[in-house]
Structure 1
Amino acid sequence: MAVLCEEVNWPVDTGHVDKLVVMHGLETSEQPSSLLEECFRVLGPGGKAMFIVPNRGGMWSRSDRTPFGYGRPYTLSQLEAQLKYHQFSIERHEFGLYQPPSQRRFWRKTGQMLEQLGHSVSMIAAGGVIMVEVSKRTPAPMGPGLKEAVSRPLRILTPNPSKEVKPI
């Protein structure tokens, strides 16, 4: 489902989303913290989300001719810190979009090779985007009384060998 709405007031019930993809959302948001809170709200327990943002070190965020040239690019550590702050559990991350942002035929034809090469040397060549998969982990409830033992448990279901059962 795709929805066009306020970025921090989605028409989705709390906890009703299993999978969420946020692309061109976080880097262009005027309120990224509120957007992440809204993402956390709509995800159900164990739900997963994929955040795709421009890589600050990539070529795509340096060109105004690309969709990733607008907004606020991130480094991997900046993005993961934001997500952890908003109680998401980081599952994995990946870089992508190693092909230069060009319409030239040479770069378009070599795109697949550059993507494969980029994944094998990703520490040297920065990908244009960072993709981080997160999950929503809800901690077990804590509070008074949850750890306390019952002082007088019901003994109705416990067998009592001293009493003999008589037929009715």
Structure 2
Amino acid sequence: MFPDVVDLRSFYAQPLGVVTRRLVARGIRARFDNVRGLSVLGIGYATPYLGVFREECERALAFMPGAQGVTRWPSAAPTLAALVDECELPLPTAAIDRVIAVHLLENTPDAEEVLREVWRVLAPGGRLLCVVPNRRGVWARVDNNPFGHGRPFSRTQITELLREALFTPVGWSEALYMPPVTRSWFLRTAVAWERAGATLSLPFSGVHIVEAAKQVYKPVAVKRRARLRVLQPVLAPQAIGG
């Protein structure tokens, strides 16, 4: 079940949301470090992370699921956001070069179908970047943040989901090692938490940031055939009554 867009917007306006945006955006930008001349699509509630790409890429779009609701984006320019059915995106096939999915896969009732639709609109060589809550992290266990709602994923689970939808994971990173504590003095230590977590490769990050490449050729499943009984040929009719 998708959180309401008003709650998402309210979270990112609070101090904890501001810190969350800064830390997750670092991981996203590290993966998509050059989008010049490319088209970028954000699905779910990705607008807090799209602004850094808007002036650089050829065009940027924000699609928000109908069950979540939509807000205007950007606020001071003609809107680039639309309310959509996440399983039927209003785009032609192979129209997008990069897709950023945030607050999407953990909330949609059919994540595999959504990913197959993302596969359709991605151009050959396109990349998908998913930000999903970590099943082992503290953020998925606390409901004071959007990553505490919906289905969290382990690394194995998100890998299997992507592969079933014809994506190949090609890069991993994590973010939000600090607990989701709202006190201002604690938020000032966020960068130290991130550095320590990344240096020690701790498994308790709040989110996985997974980059996946579109598989151009769909694998064909080999069906197991039943073994047939081999009969000996009869070359000449045998005499009856011998």
The TM-score bracket by the shorter chain reads: 0.7 to 0.9
Which residue of structure 1 aligns with residue 184 of structure 2?
A: 105
Which residue of structure 2 aligns with residue 130 of structure 1?
A: 208
After TM superposition, give the deviation of residue 86 of structure 1 in Å.
Answer: 1.2
**Contact between 2:112 and 2:164, CA under 8 Å: does it hold in 1?**
no
Q: Unaligned 5+ residue runs, structure 2?
A: 1-60, 64-82, 221-242
SS in 2 for 1:77: helix
After TM superposition, give the deviation of residue 94 of structure 1 in Å.
Answer: 0.8
Which residue of structure 2 aligns with residue 94 of structure 1?
A: 173
Q: Return the alpha-carbon distance in structure 2 between the equivalents of residues 60 and 107 of structure 1.
A: 15
After TM superposition, give the deviation of residue 43 of structure 1 in Å.
Answer: 0.6
After TM superposition, give the deviation of residue 106 of structure 1 in Å.
Answer: 2.8
Over the aligned positions, Cα root-mean-square deviation in angstroms equals: 1.5
Q: Return the alpha-carbon distance in structure 1 between the equivalents of residues 215 and 125 of structure 2.
A: 6
Which residue of structure 2 aligns with residue 118 of structure 1?
A: 197
Question: What code does the residue aligned with 2:62 have?
Answer: A
Which residue of structure 2 aligns with residue 155 of structure 1?
A: none
Q: Unaligned 5+ residue runs, structure 1?
A: 143-168
Q: Return the alpha-carbon distance in structure 2 between the equivalents of residues 36 and 118 of structure 1.
A: 30
SS in 2 for 1:68: helix
Question: Sequence identity, in percent?
Answer: 34
**Contact between 2:116 and 2:166, CA under 8 Å: does it hold in 1?**
no
Larger radius of gyration: 1
Point out the structure with the larger helix share. Answer: 2
After TM superposition, give the deviation of residue 100 of structure 1 in Å.
Answer: 1.1
Q: TM-score, normalised by structure 1?
A: 0.79
Q: How many residues align?
A: 140
After TM superposition, give the deviation of residue 135 of structure 1 in Å.
Answer: 0.8
Q: Return the alpha-carbon distance in structure 2 between the equivalents of residues 30 and 86 of structure 1.
A: 15
